[in-house]
Structure 1
Amino acid sequence: MKSLRLYGKQDLRYEEADNPVIENTDDVIVKVKAVGICGSDISRYKKLGPYVEGMVFGHEFAGEVTEVGSGVEGIRPGDRVAACPTFYCGECESCKKGELSRCEKLTVIGARHPGAYAEYVKLPAENILPLPDNVDYDTAAMVEPSSVVAHGFYRTSIKPGAEVAIMGCGSIGLLAVQWAKIFGAKKVYAIDIDDAKLEVAKEVGADVLINSMEKPAHEQIMDHTNGSGVDLAVESAGSPITSAQVFALPKKGGEVVFMGIPYADINIERFYFEKIVRSELTVLGSWNAISSPFPGKEWTSSVHYMSTGQINVKPMISHRLQLSEGPETFDNLINRKGSYVKVLFYPELD
Structure 2
Amino acid sequence: MHALNLYGIEDLRYEPLTMPVLEASDDVIIRVQIAGICGSDLSRYRKLGPYVKGMTWGHEFAGIVEAVGKSVTHLAPGDPVAACPTIACGQCLSCQKGIPSQCDNLSVIGARQPGGFATFTKLPAQNVLPLPDSISMEQAALVEPSAVAVHGLYLTSLQPGGSVAVLGCGNIGLLSIAWAKIFGAAAVYAIDIDSKKLELARQMGADYLINPKETPAHEQLLKLTDNQGVDVAIESAGSPVTSAQVFALPRKGGEVVFMGIPYGDVAVERFYFEKIVRNELKVFGSWNAVSAPFPGREWSATLQKMSTGELDVRPMITHKLSLQEGPQAFSDIITQKEFYGKVLLCPNKF
Interval of TM-score (by shorter of Structure 1 and Structure 2):
over 0.9
Counterpart of 1:50 in structure 2 is: 50
What SS class does the counterpart of residue 312 from structure 1 fall into?
coil
Question: Within 5 Å, which residues of 2 pair with 1:177-256?
Answer: 177-256=177-256
Could you tell me which amino acid in structure 1 is paired with residue 125 of structure 2?
A
Could you tell me which amino acid in structure 1 is paired with residue 22 of structure 2?
I
Counterpart of 2:71 in structure 1 is: 71
CA offsets per residue over residues 26-62 of structure 1, 9 Å max, x none?
1111111100001111111111111111110001000
Counterpart of 2:284 in structure 1 is: 284
What SS class does the counterpart of residue 329 from structure 2 fall into?
helix
Q: 1:159: Cα distance to partner?
A: 1.0
Confirm whether residue 41 of structure 1 aligns to residue 38 of structure 2: no
Question: Within 5 Å, which residues of 2 pair with 1:74-85?
Answer: 74-85=74-85
Counterpart of 1:135 in structure 2 is: 135
Q: TM-score if structure 1 supplies the norm length? A: 0.98
Counterpart of 1:154 in structure 2 is: 154
CA distance in 2, matches of 1:250, 1:58: 34
Q: 1:336: Cα distance to partner?
A: 2.4
Q: 1:335: Cα distance to partner?
A: 2.2
Unaligned runs of 5+ in 2: none
What SS class does the counterpart of residue 319 from structure 2 fall into?
strand
CA distance in 2, matches of 1:314, 1:214: 31
CA distance in 2, matches of 1:267, 1:5: 35
CA distance in 1, matches of 2:221, 2:184: 19
Could you tell me which amino acid in structure 2 is paired with residue 160 of structure 1?
P
What SS class does the counterpart of residue 326 from structure 1 fall into?
helix
Preserved contact between residue 318 and residue 341 of structure 2 (Cα < 8 Å)? yes
CA distance in 2, matches of 1:340, 1:267: 29
Counterpart of 1:111 in structure 2 is: 111
Could you tell me which amino acid in structure 1 is paired with residue 184 of structure 2?
G
CA distance in 2, matches of 1:193, 1:327: 27
| Bigger mean CA offset, 329-338 vs 301-310 | 329-338
CA distance in 1, matches of 2:112, 2:21: 17
Q: 1:349: Cα distance to partner?
A: 4.4
Q: 1:337: Cα distance to partner?
A: 2.2
Question: Within 5 Å, which residues of 2 pair with 1:251-262?
Answer: 251-262=251-262
Counterpart of 1:165 in structure 2 is: 165
Aligned length: 350
Counterpart of 1:32 in structure 2 is: 32
Q: CA RMSD in A?
A: 1.0
What SS class does the counterpart of residue 90 from structure 1 fall into?
coil
Q: 1:119: Cα distance to partner?
A: 0.6
CA offsets per residue over residues 223-260 of structure 1, 9 Å max, x none?
00000000000001111111111000000000000001
Q: How much identity, in percent, do the aligned residues show?
A: 61
Preserved contact between residue 117 and residue 347 of structure 2 (Cα < 8 Å)? yes
CA distance in 2, matches of 1:40, 1:223: 34
CA offsets per residue over residues 124-155 of structure 1, 9 Å max, x none?
11001111101000000000000001110111
Could you tell me which amino acid in structure 1 is paired with residue 197 of structure 2?
K
CA offsets per residue over residues 194-216 of structure 1, 9 Å max, x none?
11111111111110011111311
CA distance in 1, matches of 2:260, 2:311: 20
Counterpart of 1:342 in structure 2 is: 342
| Bigger mean CA offset, 327-336 vs 5-14 | 327-336
Q: 1:333: Cα distance to partner?
A: 2.0
CA distance in 1, matches of 2:299, 2:199: 27
Question: Within 5 Å, which residues of 2 pair with 1:277-316?
Answer: 277-316=277-316
Preserved contact between residue 33 and residue 349 of structure 2 (Cα < 8 Å)? no
Counterpart of 1:319 in structure 2 is: 319
CA offsets per residue over residues 63-87 of structure 1, 9 Å max, x none?
1101111111020011010010010
Could you tell me which amino acid in structure 2 is paired with residue 215 of structure 1?
T
What SS class does the counterpart of residue 348 from structure 1 fall into?
coil
CA distance in 1, matches of 2:182, 2:3: 36
Q: 1:325: Cα distance to partner?
A: 1.0
Could you tell me which amino acid in structure 2 is paired with residue 294 of structure 1?
F
What SS class does the counterpart of residue 348 from structure 2 fall into?
helix
What SS class does the counterpart of residue 21 from structure 2 fall into?
coil
CA offsets per residue over residues 269-311 of structure 1, 9 Å max, x none?
1111110011100000000011111000000101111111121
